[in-house]
Structure 1
Amino acid sequence: MAPTDETARSQQQAPPSGTTSPTGPPAGPGPGVAPSARMPRWLPRAMVLALSLVAVFQLGSWAFHQLIGLLVNILIAFFLALAIEPAVSWMASKGLRRGFATFLVFLITLIGAAGFVTLLGSMLAGQIIKMVEDFPAYLDSVISWINTTFHTELKRVDIQEGLLRSDWLQKYVQNSATGVLDVSAQVLGGLFQLLTIALFSFYFAADGPRLRRALCSVLPPAKQAEVLRAWEIAVDKTGGYLYSRGLMALISGAAHYVLLEYLDVPYAPALAVWVGLVSQFIPTIGTYLAGALPMLIAFTVNPWYALWVLVFVVLYQQFENYVLQPKLTAKTVDIHPAVAFGSVVAGTALLGAIGALIAIPAIATLQAFLGAYVKRYDVTDDPRVHGHRRRGSRNPVARLRRRLEEKADRQQPTSRPMDDARDDDGPKRGAGAESGAGPEGGTP
């Protein structure tokens, strides 16, 4: 009974649950408070960190969408600077200051672009004035053809009055008047964008060595070599791409000039320059866009001339794609036509027309840079590598018959006929009888 008394005495001396001990903290949780209901110490800190990351992401996304136009302009300026880098470096090697050499390159480019735009504008203005003056004669010829073919009695005066009194013409004039401000704003925005691109490209080209030095100063020596190599590859590929395009534009313009001059189409030199530049520097649709204007002007001279121009544009495009372009771009760009087409489509989807223009040099630069890290092996001398099939694989019936014969040979029994067995075993039994050996190998 002694242990029982000691247990009862210890229970009476123990403080009740939830009360404060005079020598320490509470003995346990009070009534109604579960041990698992306490908040972990790391939870508030994790919640603050998560909310901070979400806020930073939202702020970065907003800033990126606000600055996407500026970033695209900087990307275009960077590729333009890479394109004129060889010319600027060549002038700098002749003793000119790099900034002045960049200014000369920009001045020559600006004069060429301004002359082209002026010549093309004057050509278009002259053609538009001529088409407006000859429009009544064209309309009379069309009306006479309709009256002769369908036995109608249309008159030009009635058609003009109907057009002037139509509701859609009045609405079109009103919308055009209200859209003048929008067009003016777009023109001013385009001029500001061109100024921004020209300014950044000038600084990138003039301060190219300083920019490379500043970029390499924050990298270890091994990374510096890789950055400089990538920069050099980008300069070679971008400059080579633009120079090869310029050479193809010159050849295309000369070929179309000969055709247009032979057909006696007006403004043949300006049209030839238009076809050469637009067909080469606007990917995918540039050829058809370039050929539309000469066809339209040739149609005003003779409708059959427009058909001849169309045929020549299609034939020359095939010659350029399969003969001229592979020879000129083999050393400058050197990418597969399917890869080039896919890069143009991807660039158009990402950045529009600008992405289509810079997609090919960007992919060529990336391919040349990553080529040093790709390990290549010798290809086995297998006919299938060259697209040739193995012998006997062209006739599926013979191949199936051969497989059936092999299967039938494998399924035949392995035991031989009895005559062959007697012939093989006979000498052995005869030798045993002559020696007098019994079935156990002993004497009888």
Structure 2
Amino acid sequence: MTEPATHHTIPPWVRRAVVTLMAGLAGLWVLRGVVSSLRPLLLVLLVSFFVSFALEPAVNRLERVGLRRGPGTALVMLAVVGALGGFGVQVGSLLAEQVTDFSENVPRYLEDIDGWLEDSFGIQNATADLRADYDTGALAQRLGDVADDLARFGTTVANVLFQLFTIGLFTFYLVAEGPKLRRLVCSFLAERHQRHVLEVWDLAIEKTGGYILSRSILALGSSLVHWAAFELIGLPSSLALALWVGVMSQFVPVVGTYIAGALPLVIALLGNPADGLWVIVVVAVYQQFENYLLAPRITSHTMQLHVAVAFGAVIAGSAILGVVGALLALPAAATIQSVIAAEAERHEVAEHLIAESSQRRGHGPSDGQEH
């Protein structure tokens, strides 16, 4: 007698799990597309938040002396825009002057290079082709092509200015309406979570503001020292060059010092190679003075961050968000470090265990064994 065939039915929970999984995957795919489309806006909001954290301490001080939050925010932002505008005018006029001077003195530079190559290596007429191009106008045509590139660069600058305007607008509202925004966020959270959110928010403001303050103080000191040094060396536009060195060396992570020193070095070499050597000496000596004496004293009161942590944070930030991530990496790392230090449970170190471990490493694994 044959047994009746059994019918295997899929349990309902399996169907629900499959449907839920497919819906979740579809939702993630849609969310990825939305985030990708909104990435420029999200970057603007992220930068605006960090800028608002940097400006809020100054606005809070103005509010404590009686200035309403809206006008105080406008005043602080105008001061920042004025400082950035002054820096841009100084550096822009310097670059325009140097480009004009270079284009007018191309024949002299080519002759100097020819003379140096002939005296040093016996090479004659090494720049003859370039001089022929300059005399026939071919070099001017190449410079015209460069001008076209500069025009396209101008379009890029216009886009950047629009982005900066958008960041400024968001930053103004984030700072001016900061207390209301915190109250709104906390209204969606239970009381036990509100404390943590407000603590993290305050830490972000403290660390970002401390970072900007310490960098600004160091930039001011660097600019003053390099201004005096460049005046003694005799470099043209010494104030603009000093501002360039001060700002770039402090606010561009990792490679800022090299970018800062490159411009005055090139300008010095165009005038007198010996001046270039003095520029290298000044930048290198001041960098050592700043790294070992000045910066530790200032950052100890504002933002303490281990060099290895800072370097890793910059690499991670640049890998995630490019230049924006590199610029925001240090205050973000300082905030995360402070949150971990505040929330993590710390225990007393058992010194006898450390001593025993060191002794075992010093005498080898077999010395401490008993037979």
Do both proteins adopt the same fold according to a TM-score greater than 0.5, normalized to the shorter chain?
yes
Going from structure 1 to structure 2, the CA distance change for 1:212 and 1:156 (only over 3 Å counts) comes to closer
Whether 1:249 and 2:219 are equivalent positions in the alignment is: yes
Counterpart residue type for residue 210 of structure 1: K
Residue aligning to 1:104: 75
1:4-29 CA-partner distances (Å, limit 9, x unpaired): xxxxxxxxxxxxx9xxxxxxxxxx97
The one of 274, 277, 283 equivalent to 2:247 is 277
Residue aligning to 2:265: 295
Counterpart residue type for residue 320 of structure 1: E
Residue aligning to 2:90: 119
Give the SS at the match of 2:188.
coil
For residues 268 and 274 of structure 1, what CA distance do their matches in structure 2 show? 10
For residues 354 and 366 of structure 1, what CA distance do their matches in structure 2 show? 18
Residue aligning to 1:263: 233
Give the SS at the match of 1:62.
helix
The one of 59, 64, 85 equivalent to 2:56 is 85
Residue aligning to 1:216: 186
Going from structure 1 to structure 2, the CA distance change for 1:167 and 1:138 (only over 3 Å counts) comes to closer
Counting only pairs closer than 5 Å after superposition, residues 339-418 of structure 1 correspond to structure 2 as: 339-381=309-351, 393=362
For residues 184 and 191 of structure 2, what CA distance do their matches in structure 1 show? 13
Moved more, 246-255 or 167-176: 167-176
Matched-pair contact (CA < 8 Å) for 2:265–2:280: yes
1:385-432 CA-partner distances (Å, limit 9, x unpaired): 7xx9769958x9xx99xx6xx99xx8xxxxxxxxxxxxxxxxxxxxxx
Kindly state the Cα deviation for residue 82 of structure 1 after the two structures are TM-superposed.
0.6
Moved more, 139-148 or 237-246: 139-148
Give the SS at the match of 1:265.
coil
Aligned positions, number: 369
Going from structure 1 to structure 2, the CA distance change for 1:94 and 1:65 (only over 3 Å counts) comes to same
In angstroms, what is the RMSD of aligned CA positions?
3.4
Moved more, 273-282 or 293-302: 293-302
Kindly state the Cα deviation for residue 260 of structure 1 after the two structures are TM-superposed.
0.7
Residue aligning to 2:114: 143
Residue aligning to 2:282: 312
For residues 249 and 137 of structure 2, what CA distance do their matches in structure 1 show? 40
The one of 77, 98, 103 equivalent to 1:132 is 103
1:335-378 CA-partner distances (Å, limit 9, x unpaired): 22111111111111111122122111111112212222222233
1:298-326 CA-partner distances (Å, limit 9, x unpaired): 22232011112112212222222222222
Matched-pair contact (CA < 8 Å) for 2:210–2:302: yes
Kindly state the Cα deviation for residue 41 of structure 1 after the two structures are TM-superposed.
4.6
For residues 174 and 294 of structure 1, what CA distance do their matches in structure 2 show? 26
Kindly state the Cα deviation for residue 89 of structure 1 after the two structures are TM-superposed.
1.0
Moved more, 48-57 or 320-329: 48-57
Matched-pair contact (CA < 8 Å) for 1:85–1:235: yes
Counting only pairs closer than 5 Å after superposition, residues 51-66 of structure 1 correspond to structure 2 as: 51-66=22-37
Residue aligning to 1:7: none
Residue aligning to 1:433: none
Residue aligning to 1:421: none
1:130-149 CA-partner distances (Å, limit 9, x unpaired): 22222211211222344455
Give the SS at the match of 1:283.
coil
Residue aligning to 2:256: 286
For residues 174 and 135 of structure 1, what CA distance do their matches in structure 2 show? 17
Residue aligning to 1:25: none
Matched-pair contact (CA < 8 Å) for 1:383–1:390: no
Kindly state the Cα deviation for residue 90 of structure 1 after the two structures are TM-superposed.
1.2
Give the SS at the match of 1:36.
coil
The one of 132, 140, 154 equivalent to 1:161 is 132
Counterpart residue type for residue 156 of structure 2: Q
The one of 188, 197, 201 equivalent to 2:158 is 188
TM-score, normalised by the number of residues in structure 1: 0.74
Q: If each structure's helix is expressed as a fraction of its own residues, which one has the higher value?
A: 2
For residues 376 and 152 of structure 1, what CA distance do their matches in structure 2 show? 70
Kindly state the Cα deviation for residue 164 of structure 1 after the two structures are TM-superposed.
7.8
Kindly state the Cα deviation for residue 161 of structure 1 after the two structures are TM-superposed.
2.8
Counterpart residue type for residue 378 of structure 1: E
Going from structure 1 to structure 2, the CA distance change for 1:62 and 1:196 (only over 3 Å counts) comes to same
Going from structure 1 to structure 2, the CA distance change for 1:155 and 1:168 (only over 3 Å counts) comes to closer
Unaligned runs of 5+ in 2: none
Kindly state the Cα deviation for residue 188 of structure 1 after the two structures are TM-superposed.
3.0
Unaligned runs of 5+ in 1: 1-16, 18-27, 411-444
Counterpart residue type for residue 73 of structure 1: V
The one of 21, 28, 31 equivalent to 1:50 is 21
Whether 1:72 and 2:75 are equivalent positions in the alignment is: no
Moved more, 336-345 or 131-140: 131-140
Kindly state the Cα deviation for residue 254 of structure 1 after the two structures are TM-superposed.
1.4
TM-score, normalised by the number of residues in structure 2: 0.87
Matched-pair contact (CA < 8 Å) for 2:107–2:131: no
Whether 1:202 and 2:177 are equivalent positions in the alignment is: no
For residues 109 and 166 of structure 1, what CA distance do their matches in structure 2 show? 45
Moved more, 45-54 or 268-277: 45-54
Residue aligning to 1:422: none
For residues 334 and 121 of structure 1, what CA distance do their matches in structure 2 show? 34
Kindly state the Cα deviation for residue 206 of structure 1 after the two structures are TM-superposed.
0.4
For residues 120 and 221 of structure 2, what CA distance do their matches in structure 1 show? 45
Higher relative CO (Cα under 8 Å, sequence separation at least 6) belongs to 2
Counterpart residue type for residue 80 of structure 1: V
Kindly state the Cα deviation for residue 202 of structure 1 after the two structures are TM-superposed.
0.7
Larger radius of gyration: 1
For residues 31 and 360 of structure 2, what CA distance do their matches in structure 1 show? 63
The one of 273, 284, 304 equivalent to 1:334 is 304
For residues 392 and 94 of structure 1, what CA distance do their matches in structure 2 show? 60
